[in-house]
Chain A
Amino acid sequence: MTDTVLSLSLLGGHLKALAVQRGVVVGTWQRPTTVEDFTDFSSVVREAVAGTRYVGDAVSLVLAHPRLNQQLVETPPIHGFNLRWFLERRVKQLKTFNTDAAWSYQPTEPTKNARALVLHLFPKPFWDQLMEGCQQAGLHLTKLLPATAVLSRQLKELPIAEDELALVAADTGGTTTVIIGRKNGQVYLARSLSNSWSVYPDRVNVDLNRTILYVKQQFGATVNSLWLFGNVSEDNVRAMQAAVRVPVKTSPVQLSPFYWNQEAQKVADEDSNNLVSPELQKAPRRRVLLRVTGLLIGLLALGAVATAVFFQALVRDRLKQADRLQPRAEKLQGRKGDLQQREVDYYRQKEFLKLVSEERVQPVSGWFFGYLGEVVPEELLLTHFQIKRQTNQWTIELAGTLQPTTNPAPAAVLAGAVSSLRDRLSSGPFHVKITRTVGVPEGPAATAKRISRTVTQAAGATGGSTADKENRFVIEGAMR
């Protein structure tokens, strides 16, 4: 329910307006002439706004119109969207006009067969005209109620028992709005009769009887009383009482000039009788939210674009800096390559120099050969000399014989000479390490026989006569 609303009632073309500001009635207005159609409904609304000095946005409208009619519909036990789809199909089947229908419904007591509801059907073009009329007047129609929805509230105010079934008939300006229900507000049937008892009482009486009978047939319930609401005279009551078989009474509810407008305020916007869907009710708020959201998103988009531009500028700057450094890096890389090559060349050259110049093999062979001429004792005759470079050392091999001698102990002479040669080689400048000697005694007490045998073996290796063999010697050694 809205605290601030322009509440309109349009019953049989008679339009009344009630302006409510924050729950307080601030103005009322009644149109002097009837509203014949809705083609210029915006003007009517503007008049009502001006007449009531209404300042607000929301509009509600209670409508009793010949084209707004009701149908009792039995439904399967379904809810929500399923019920909605079911009703949409039923609306297409039940509508009595060619155009699309705007519709709402009022739940009723179950019939004998199934669950039921009263479907309110209203031509969609009229509905559009009402909505657009309010919109053109700068207002928003939040509630469009059939008069039955408002009248059903009167059931609770009737002086009837809880189990009694009452029929309330209201004069709604050339039409009669009928509601049948119990005191607890539970409705059995709601409908609009196209005549008023003040104009065509007989037709109304016939319709009321048919309605009572229809309720008996459909629900198995008997209407216990009939209450008239609106412009009712004693004559009307008497005439009706004569035509219908249930007690006819006048409703205890007082008909104020703006009864319908005031009662409509008590019906919630979300009531299922409302011909304005919840989506449309919230359309203004949604539009505002949409605008705010749109604005925020627009700002966000601008912010995103600005962020993108800013970061792209940063990215380009970084990449440009990196690109600017690339030639320098390449130049440095080239310089490093040159220096590395220089280093490689340097070490290669050093290695080369070491190999060619520093590690040169000295002509030790010649030196040693020359040296031999000085150190070989006169008693010895050198017949074989070999010096050879092996790995990191020189190996030498000397062989020879004893010079012819008159000494009666040539072996001793040989041993002495060889020993002398060996000592000279060892202690001389070449520091020869003697590895094998044949022809030298092993100690002072060595026997001549042993010496003779060893020399004989050496002589056997080099050939020669027996005497020669006995006087031969061999020295082997190594030096660095």
Chain B
Amino acid sequence: MKALGPIPPEIYRALTVRLIMLIVFAGSVGLAWWSVIQLPPAERKLEQQNKRIATLESDIQFLEMKPSPLEAEQVAAKYNQAQQLLFSGLEEAKGWEQLKRQPNLLLLTAEPEVRFLGKTQALSILSANLELQATNSPYSRYTNSAYKALLDFAQQLTSQSKRVDLMELTISGSSNSVSVAKIGLHLWTQETGP
């Protein structure tokens, strides 16, 4: 049989102490656990940082080798030179003197029409069509001088300092010489167009 008797305040004090100890115990375990679980993320962060730096250094090393600085410099120089071959835009192309030049023994029947044809990467291509007609002078009609003048004119157009492509040449003639000539040109410009 169990004895029954009053429970003195000491029991309750002991319970309070035990509760406090339990809290301290749980707090201690929690504190230790919390402090331990904080380390892996920090380790990971450092590892990622090291890895990132190693990757960057590797990438940089690779990028520094290819292309070599000398090669890049040469290409840049050529690039600057090549830019000079291009018209700056539609206006410059329209005002290009070669389009207004009257070749010998031939007449421009109309002002050449210059318009955007298309784009390729950072460049635009303008098209210009020239229509030439042989003059009525007997000299031109019955000799091949017009033929030669046209040849010279075409050669001059394509040997300028600008990038001009002679894309089409159509000639109609009679018995001995050129009557009408149509020249299709492509002019290259840096302007990206409309």
A, B: real partners: yes
For residue B32, which residues in chain A have a CB less than 8 angstroms away from its CB? Answer: 303-304, 307-308
- Taking the closest CB of chain B, its distance from the CB of A216, in whole angstroms, is 26
Stretch from B107-115, B135-143, B169-177 at the A interface: B169-177
Tell me whether A406 is interfacial, beta carbon within 8 Å: no
Against A, the Cβ 8 Å flags (1 = close, 0 = not) of B48-86 are: 011011001101100110110001100110110010011
- Taking the closest CB of chain B, its distance from the CB of A480, in whole angstroms, is 15
Contact B172 A383 (CB under 8 A): yes
Contact B168 A389 (CB under 8 A): yes
Quick one: which of B14-53 are within 8 Å of A by CB? 14, 17-18, 21, 24-25, 27-29, 31-32, 34-36, 38-39, 42-43, 45-46, 49-50, 52-53
User: What is the CA–CA distance of A356 and B186 in the complex, to the nearest angstrom?
Assistant: 12
Contact B67 A365 (CB under 8 A): no
User: What is the CA–CA distance of A184 and B46 in the complex, to the nearest angstrom?
Assistant: 82
Tell me whether B161 is interfacial, beta carbon within 8 Å: no
Contact B151 A369 (CB under 8 A): yes
User: What is the CA–CA distance of A361 and B168 in the complex, to the nearest angstrom?
Assistant: 11
- Taking the closest CB of chain B, its distance from the CB of A452, in whole angstroms, is 23
- Taking the closest CB of chain A, its distance from the CB of B32, in whole angstroms, is 4
Contact A272 B173 (CB under 8 A): no
Whether A318 touches B121, Cβ cut-off 8 Å, given contacts A100-B6, A349-B76, A388-B167, is no
Against A, the Cβ 8 Å flags (1 = close, 0 = not) of B133-166 are: 0000000000010010011001101110001011
For residue A309, which residues in chain B have a CB less than 8 angstroms away from its CB? Answer: 35
Contact A363 B86 (CB under 8 A): no
Contact B4 A124 (CB under 8 A): no
Contact A303 B28 (CB under 8 A): yes
Tell me whether A405 is interfacial, beta carbon within 8 Å: no
For residue A280, which residues in chain B have a CB less than 8 angstroms away from its CB? Answer: 5, 8, 10-11
Tell me whether A41 is interfacial, beta carbon within 8 Å: no
For residue B165, which residues in chain A have a CB less than 8 angstroms away from its CB? Answer: 360-361, 389
Tell me whether A366 is interfacial, beta carbon within 8 Å: yes
- Nearest residue (CB) in B for A310 is B35
Tell me whether B2 is interfacial, beta carbon within 8 Å: yes
- Taking the closest CB of chain A, its distance from the CB of B78, in whole angstroms, is 5
Contact A361 B3 (CB under 8 A): no
For residue A273, which residues in chain B have a CB less than 8 angstroms away from its CB? Answer: 3
Contact B171 A384 (CB under 8 A): yes
Q: How large, as a class, is the contact surface on chain B?
A: 35 or more
Contact B39 A318 (CB under 8 A): yes
Against B, the Cβ 8 Å flags (1 = close, 0 = not) of A347-384 are: 01111110111001101111001100100000001111
Contact B122 A352 (CB under 8 A): yes
For residue B46, which residues in chain A have a CB less than 8 angstroms away from its CB? Answer: 318-319, 321-322, 325
Stretch from A203-211, A335-343, A432-440 at the B interface: A335-343
- Nearest residue (CB) in B for A384 is B172
Against B, the Cβ 8 Å flags (1 = close, 0 = not) of A426-461 are: 000000000000000000000000000000000000
Tell me whether A245 is interfacial, beta carbon within 8 Å: no
- Nearest residue (CB) in A for B4 is A84
User: What is the CA–CA distance of A103 and B7 in the complex, to the nearest angstrom?
Assistant: 11
- Taking the closest CB of chain A, its distance from the CB of B44, in whole angstroms, is 9
Tell me whether A328 is interfacial, beta carbon within 8 Å: yes
Contact of B39 among A87, A293, A315, A349 (CB under 8 A): A315
Contact A387 B168 (CB under 8 A): yes
Tell me whether A301 is interfacial, beta carbon within 8 Å: yes
Contact A343 B60 (CB under 8 A): no
Contact A308 B45 (CB under 8 A): no
Tell me whether A235 is interfacial, beta carbon within 8 Å: no
User: What is the CA–CA distance of A336 and B188 in the complex, to the nearest angstrom?
Assistant: 34
Quick one: which of B86-118 are within 8 Å of A by CB? 86
- Taking the closest CB of chain A, its distance from the CB of B62, in whole angstroms, is 9
Against B, the Cβ 8 Å flags (1 = close, 0 = not) of A91-129 are: 000000000111111010000000000000000100100
Tell me whether A259 is interfacial, beta carbon within 8 Å: no
Whether A314 touches B158, Cβ cut-off 8 Å, given contacts A383-B172, A385-B170, A387-B169, is no
Tell me whether B193 is interfacial, beta carbon within 8 Å: no
User: What is the CA–CA distance of A177 and B147 in the complex, to the nearest angstrom?
Assistant: 159
Whether A388 touches B184, Cβ cut-off 8 Å, given contacts A305-B31, A355-B121, A363-B158, is yes
Contact B155 A363 (CB under 8 A): yes
Contact A301 B167 (CB under 8 A): no
Contact of B155 among A278, A329, A343, A366 (CB under 8 A): A366
Against B, the Cβ 8 Å flags (1 = close, 0 = not) of A258-272 are: 000000000000111
For residue B34, which residues in chain A have a CB less than 8 angstroms away from its CB? Answer: 308
For residue B45, which residues in chain A have a CB less than 8 angstroms away from its CB? Answer: 318-319, 322
User: What is the CA–CA distance of A294 and B24 in the complex, to the nearest angstrom?
Assistant: 10
Query: Which of A's residues lie within 8 Å of B, judged by CB?
Result: 83-84, 87, 100-105, 107, 124, 127, 270-280, 283, 286-287, 290, 293-294, 297-298, 300-301, 303-305, 307-312, 314-315, 318-319, 321-322, 325-326, 328-329, 332-333, 335-336, 339-340, 342-343, 345-346, 348-353, 355-357, 360-361, 363-366, 369-370, 373, 381-389
20 contacts between A and B (CB under 8 A): A104-B4, A272-B2, A272-B4, A277-B4, A278-B3, A293-B21, A305-B31, A311-B36, A312-B35, A318-B39, A318-B43, A318-B46, A349-B78, A361-B186, A363-B159, A381-B175, A385-B170, A386-B171, A389-B167, A389-B168
List the 5 closest A-B pairs by CB distance, nearest first. Answer: A304-B28, A277-B5, A272-B1, A339-B63, A308-B35
Query: Which of B's residues lie within 8 Å of A, judged by CB?
Result: 1-8, 10-11, 14, 17-18, 21, 24-25, 27-29, 31-32, 34-36, 38-39, 42-43, 45-46, 49-50, 52-53, 56-57, 59-60, 63-64, 66-67, 71-72, 75-76, 78-79, 82, 85-86, 120-123, 144, 147, 150-151, 154-155, 157-159, 163, 165-175, 184, 186, 188
